[in-house]
Structure formats: structure tokens, C-alpha cells
Structure 1
């Protein structure tokens, strides 16, 4: 038996012809170079434009926007007259121990309120309060608040002549605090603290008032000071140091230095 092997036919790959390389002409070469240069320049211009736009956006975001200053024209006379027609009432309570002084000095109390501020005033004995109200003669908008501060100052214990300064000056205030706000004292320690503030025959209190140009009312454990903001701070610091146990002589020395500085600033 004869076995015959058959070999597959060999297929030859056809060789691909490579395209003939043609040398570019000088005109075409210049055209391609110019097109490349134009593309590069357009890319650079686009990059610069995007960078400038980003910088402008960042600059606008970082810089605050210019705001226009609002202008408020003065109110017409009709608006002011309409406000004055609307009456407002304020009720100031009076402590029981101040009812007798307010009855005694009632003429000196309601005269400034009616003549200077043009308010209507009455005393309600049953409710133990003073009621004040605006009228057609009230010309100032803050007259009601000034009148309430004046009556409240008298109710706290200030003299009438000292309280009238609240009506005439705009930079006067009243500050109130208690001894327990500074230091918790009881019994004899509290009595000695009150004695240090008042002094013998009120000498220490008068010295603080004259040095700081204020008025002080010492009502049991409550202390009321009337004056300007800076002067109230000077008097309050002196009183706080006395409550904490500082000798009066040291407080006097501190008040002298403060008074000398105030005189130099005034000059």
C-alpha cells in the first residue's frame, strides 16, 4: 500500500507598490509653511484671549463693586407736621420713697417738661407714676425720650437741677450697677464697702464727683452715676477699686493723675 503526501500550493504575496515620492515645489512648500505659521499664531492669540478673560474675571471677582453713596433728602414740612400730630405717651414709675420728694418739687419738674420740650405732663398718684405725652407744641422728635430720662433721673435720687442737664445736653447718660456685680459681700463687709464709697460725711463721694465731673447717687447697694461716657468710666473705676478694698488715699492719687491728663487734653 502506497501513501502519497500532497503539498498545498504556495501562494505568493504581491508586492505593493510604494507611491512615488514627489518633490514638493517651492511654491507649495512656502504655502504649507505659511499655513502652519498662521495656525500657530491663531493658537497663541486664542490662548492670550482666554488668559486675559480669566484675569478679568478674577479681577472683577476680587475687587469690590463700586457702590453709590445713598442720598437722603430732608423731610418735607408736611411729614414733620403729620408726625407731630400723632401723640405718644410714656409712663415712668416712681418708687414709694420718692413720692414725697416729687410732690414737693412738682413745680420744678413739670415746668421744664412743658416749657423746654412742649410736653403734656400729669402725675398719677394711684398708679404711682408720671405720665408724659406729646402735643402740638412738641417740636423735637426725641423730646419724649428726653422727658422720660429726666423724670427717671429724679426717681433714681438725683437733684432736680442736676437732672435738668439731661434736657439741655445731648452727651449725658446714666449708668447704674450694684455692689454685688463687682464683688459678693455680706454683713459687715458690705457695710464697710458702702462706708468706703461714701467716706466720712460724704467726703469720698464728693471728691470722686468733683474729679470726674459726674453726679453719684448711693442708694443702699445700688450706685447711679450721671455724666458723659468718659467721665462715667473714670468714676466707675474709682468706685470699683474702693469696693475691692483699695485705700481711699490710693484712689485719690489715681484721680489726681486722671484729672491732670484731662486738663492737658483740654489744653
Structure 2
């Protein structure tokens, strides 16, 4: 039987390892990097548009109808998104268009609409479209302490204060916006400021007197002024 002998020289010659350093490598590419144009949102996801749907509570249908022009104008003109109100399913529907430059604006538009539907003023909700570091956070009174009956009413009363004084004080000291809707408490602001406002609200839910919370808010407000 004939023997086949494979030497290192034959292997090196076959796979091109015997090339001298001066010879160009077969896998070497041109020194000029290839630069591809950025993909637009309508080119991503196999060419399909990104889509979002936000349910509208029954108690906000009339307000949404009255302020519809103020809602769709910045979304269509500034963010280059498409929007419509589906009256059958009671949902606001959003999707990207070929003119959309950044797919991230879709999430910002969703947060803007959610903030308005929760109960924030439309001027405050629009800040979510302009400022990237703003967030929306909601929690229930039961998440802090389980309260029922008069105890729950008194806790909500402590948060609101007489004529809304306590709520306004928390908002001004922490530079946030607060919406009280039954047991639901929603906050709008930067991450750090939301934490400060949430701590003040939780203290009131747990039974702290407003005077003690005011004192803490004065210190918080002084620190924020020094920071900015």
C-alpha cells in the first residue's frame, strides 16, 4: 500500500503560511474603512414600522378630545411620528414613519401621552418631549402602608393639604409635579427629584405631621439651590 507523507512544508504551502511578511495577506482589506449610512427606523425590523398603543380611560376621553390638537401637533411636527385615536377600541395609536429620524422618540411620545392621560397638565407633560432626563413614576398608597376608610382619607388629606398647599410645597421644593387620583400617586420629574418627592409623600402616608415634612423640604430646597 502506498504511503502518503504530509510534511509541514506542504501544509504551509497549501494554506499560504509560507508567505513572507512583505507579501500582502489574502485576508487583508484596504486601509480605508467602509462607512455605512445609519439605518432609519422604517428600515429596521425588516422594513416594518414600530407601533405603540395606549389605552384611554373613560374619564379622560373628553379631555383628550378637547386637547387633541395640542397633543398631535408636537408629535407629528417635531417627532415625525404618525398618531391617531381609535374610537372603537379607545386607544391612542402611534407608529414611526419614513421621516422619523430617531426611533427613541416613540417611547418619549408614549410617556407624554400617558402623563396627560394620568392627569398632568399638558404643558407639564410636554416637558417629556423636550427633556430626556425626565421620568414618570406611579405608585399606590397600599404600596407604602395598607390603609382603609378614614385612615386612607386622612393620609390623602395630609398629602394634599389645605387647598393643595402641602402638595404644592412638595412640588416646588423638589422641582416635580404630582397628581393624586384616589389611591394612585403619580410623579413627574428627574430621577433624583422624584426620589425626594416620593420620600416626602411616603412620610405623610406613614403619619408624619406636615410641619416635620416642611422642615425636611426646606433643607432639600436649599441643597437644590446650591447645586444649581
Could you say whether these structures have the same fold, taking a TM-score greater than 0.5 normalized by the shorter chain as the test? yes
Please provide the CA RMSD for this pair: 1.7
Q: In structure 2, how many angstroms separate the alpha carbons of the residues matched to 1:187 and 1:140?
A: 48
1:149 corresponds to 2:111? yes
Report how far residue 264 of structure 1 moved: 2.0
Q: 1:133-148, aligned counterparts within 5 Å?
A: 133-148=95-110
Counterparts in 2 of 1:162 and 1:78: CA distance versus 1, 3 Å? closer
Partner residue, 1:212: 174
Q: In structure 1, how many angstroms separate the alpha carbons of the residues matched to 2:43 and 2:120?
A: 36
More RCO (CA 8 Å, sep 6+): 2
Q: TM-score, normalised by structure 1?
A: 0.70
Partner residue, 1:82: 43
Counterparts in 2 of 1:257 and 1:74: CA distance versus 1, 3 Å? farther
**What is the SS of the residue equivalent to 2:44?**
helix
Q: TM-score, normalised by structure 2?
A: 0.81
Say which of 216, 227, 232 aligns to 2:194.
Answer: 232
Q: Residue 133 of structure 2 contacts residue 190 of structure 2 at CA under 8 Å; is this kept in 1?
A: yes
Report how far residue 122 of structure 1 moved: 0.5
Q: Which has the higher helix share?
A: 1
**What is the SS of the residue equivalent to 2:88?**
coil
Unaligned runs of 5+ in 1: 1-72
Q: 1:112-191, aligned counterparts within 5 Å?
A: 112-191=74-153
Unaligned runs of 5+ in 2: 1-32
Consecutive aligned runs of 4 or more in structure 1 exceeding 2 Å deviation: 73-76, 78-86
Report how far residue 140 of structure 1 moved: 1.1
